[in-house]
Amino acid sequence: MLKVKFVPQNKEIEVAIGENLIEVARKAEIFIDAPCNGNGVCGKCKVKVLQGKLDAEKTRHIKDEEWNEGYVLACNAKVIEDVVIEIPSNASAAMHGMKIEDLSGERENKIFENAKKQVLENGMEFKTYVKKDCIKLDPPTIDDNISDFERIKRHLRNNLGYDSVFCRLPLLRKIPPLFREANFEVTITHIPRGHKKTTIINMEKGNTTNRLYGIALDIGTTSVAACLVDLYEGRLIAKASSGNAQIKYGADVINRIIYSTKRNGLAELNHAIIEETINPLLEKMYNDTGISRDEVVSFVTAGNTTMSHLFLGVYPDYLRMEPYIPAFVKPPFIKASELGINVNPETFVYLVPSVASYVGGDITAGVLSSGIWASDEMILFIDLGTNGEIVFGNKEYLMTCACSAGPAFEGGEISSGMRAAGGAIEGVKINRKTYEPEIEVIGNQDPVGICGSGIIDLICELMLAGIIDRRGKLIRDLNTSRIRFDEHGIGEYVVVFKEQYKLEKDVTITEVDIDNFIRAKGAIYSGITTLLNSLGMDFTMIDKIYIAGGIGNSLDIGNSIKIGMLPDVDESKISYVGNSSLMGCYLTLMSEDARRKLEEVSNNMTYVELSVEPGYMDEFVSSCFLPHTDIEKFPSVEKLLRR
């Protein structure tokens, strides 16, 4: 056996000769970012060998200088002797220290209040389906010797009018000692159904009717956000978010699906989301609040269709292959214990229904919370997460489609890209004369990479400063040390020189990165165009645009238009609505009426498959320009560029 040690984590693991370094890191529970799932394509899994040697090849992602310093791609390296490996900070930043969704922020509070208002204004009750009742049973005697379970049934029939009372085995097992310990005064948590039926899901000693909690959870491909809610008042008691631990198996849904087809792959992905992501978030909230898992008796979650499949451990491979068929859109009834989620084991897990293979429950939930279903105005809803999904409509109808935008908006497939965590550059300005940048970094830390909103700003500013042309290529003869070209002639613009912050490497954006990003924004723009065209409509008919998703708070709407990601409409029509999926989960958790509305919405959304829509490919190709091949579509940008 050989020894592999990872720093700065200081973890050591014994491995067999020839083992792949990325697999070794997974075994050691060391996070190495590998968006392409170890195919050698993305170049993100760069690590530094401090001691010993690996069997690795130099690839196009490793520069000569890096190679000499000991950098290799972990996915491409085999262990052949004892080694010490350094994990660069930007490779591990992705999973830990994600920017916590600031649900108490002013903007979110407003969105949250709006969402709640819409529910109430539409005549829907803010009332959850789980109830608590404290009951005092008559203690048994030799003359009144019916069983414990019959005793509670009799009480509920006589005192609360329930003719049928159900419970499951784990609860029955709790009853006999609990009744005696509690002196026959217990609080039941139950779910009334229909007229006179109820199902008991928990039983506690004494009177605990004032403690009733639930979880709303958004499962993003990249990040996961949760809140712990008081089910009586709808108060947010705690919140937590982190990266999705599945990231180590691939950055986007396609790579995850491919990984699921490997031996144990599906189980590993399911374990990563439940045991490595969701349960730690729950633990954190329990620790922060003193609420125990058994008190959490309601659970609503949403994710895209692939995340939904992986969350349930359902094989997702047919999502990826024509004709792109999900196993389910509306999942069956599931208990928390079946999935190993660390809430009360009898809790019903409500997974928000999807619409189609690439329009998931996160979009259904987003439509619910953003109130499109109740709107007279025509609303365009765009979710800019690891993929891009679009909904267009109003209270009369809802059309939806998915764009293959990839993970670029969350920093994926961009060499210095990272998620919106501490150290991410989220805003950039470039001096038009000196070509020097001015950056904003999340958390006032030293910059280690660039997140989605920063990339949008950067590309926009590069374009407006004349550093790149409309194809995204760097202008060769500018007088600045920030532009340079490698041995293959590929150019890059240096945003941060490593010396300034003692970084391991410069933070740059390459022509390849820019090209990747242009394709992503082109996918969104052409998606919007094609969806509207399919209805015989155009941008003038849009009353409002809502942007949701992981691209983050700092999104500059104007710049998003200028690079041609969003249509050139009045900026005031566009607003960022935050994590609308989490909001939708929260509303579903708090209101049975909202849940019914949600199901109605998911049934009534019409899915448009872009790949079979005529003209889509032409539209996409035309959109892969800054802002577009047809500059007349962007009169406001045309003006700026003409100056």
**Dist CA 213 CA 130 (whole Å):** 10
State the minimum distance, in angstroms, from the CB of residue 444 to a second copy: 45
* Of 280 and 340, CB closest to a second copy: 340
Beta bridge partners of 14: 3
Beta bridge partners of 303: 219
State the minimum distance, in angstroms, from the CB of residue 496 to a second copy: 46
**Dist CA 525 CA 548 (whole Å):** 15
Q: Do the Cβ atoms of 591 and 353 come closer than 8 Å?
A: no
State the minimum distance, in angstroms, from the CB of residue 38 to a second copy: 24
* Of 114 and 337, CB closest to a second copy: 337
464 CB burial (10 A radius; 0-12, 13-18, 19+): buried
Cα 162 off chain centre by:
41
Going by C-alpha positions, the residue among 324, 488, 506 that lies closest to residue 402 is 324
Q: Do the Cβ atoms of 206 and 187 come closer than 8 Å?
A: yes
- Please report the DSSP string for 9-20 in residue order: TTEEEEE-TT-B
Going by C-alpha positions, the residue among 201, 203, 146 that lies closest to residue 174 is 203
Run of H or E residues at 260:
helix 253-260
Contacts of 117 (CB under 8 A, 6+ apart): none
State the minimum distance, in angstroms, from the CB of residue 426 to a second copy: 38
State the minimum distance, in angstroms, from the CB of residue 617 to a second copy: 16
| Encoded tokens for 534 | 């399919």
State the minimum distance, in angstroms, from the CB of residue 400 to a second copy: 14
Q: Do the Cβ atoms of 476 and 466 come closer than 8 Å?
A: no
List of E strands, 491-604: 491-496, 507-510, 544-548, 574-578
Going by C-alpha positions, the residue among 260, 216, 209, 257 that lies closest to residue 236 is 216
State the minimum distance, in angstroms, from the CB of residue 610 to a second copy: 12
Run of H or E residues at 64:
helix 64-69
Q: Which residues bind a second copy (CB under 8 A)?
A: 140-142, 145-150, 166-169, 172-173, 175-177, 180, 312-318, 322-334, 338-339, 356-357, 609, 612
Going by C-alpha positions, the residue among 414, 391, 578, 395 that lies closest to residue 493 is 414
* Of 144 and 436, CB closest to a second copy: 144
State the minimum distance, in angstroms, from the CB of residue 187 to a second copy: 19
* Of 213 and 616, CB closest to a second copy: 616
| C-alpha dist (Å) from residue 379 to 42, 557, 641 | 36, 16, 30
Run of H or E residues at 350:
strand 348-351
State the minimum distance, in angstroms, from the CB of residue 336 to a second copy: 11
| Encoded tokens for 175 | 């009853």
The CA-based diameter of the chain, rounded to the nearest angstrom, is: 100
**Dist CA 101 CA 108 (whole Å):** 9
* Of 182 and 569, CB closest to a second copy: 182
* Of 74 and 175, CB closest to a second copy: 175
- Please report the DSSP string for 436-462 in residue order: -EEEEEGGG----EE-HHHHHHHHHHH
| Encoded tokens for 163 | 């003719």
State the minimum distance, in angstroms, from the CB of residue 305 to a second copy: 9
* Of 244 and 357, CB closest to a second copy: 357
* Of 257 and 514, CB closest to a second copy: 257
* Of 1 and 169, CB closest to a second copy: 169
* Of 7 and 137, CB closest to a second copy: 137
* Of 222 and 602, CB closest to a second copy: 602
State the minimum distance, in angstroms, from the CB of residue 302 to a second copy: 16
Q: Do the Cβ atoms of 492 and 511 come closer than 8 Å?
A: yes
State the minimum distance, in angstroms, from the CB of residue 301 to a second copy: 14
* Of 129 and 315, CB closest to a second copy: 315
Quote the crossing angle between the two packed helices 305-312 and 253-260, to the nearest 10°: 30
State the minimum distance, in angstroms, from the CB of residue 152 to a second copy: 10
Length of the chain (residues): 643
**Dist CA 152 CA 154 (whole Å):** 5
* Of 177 and 489, CB closest to a second copy: 177
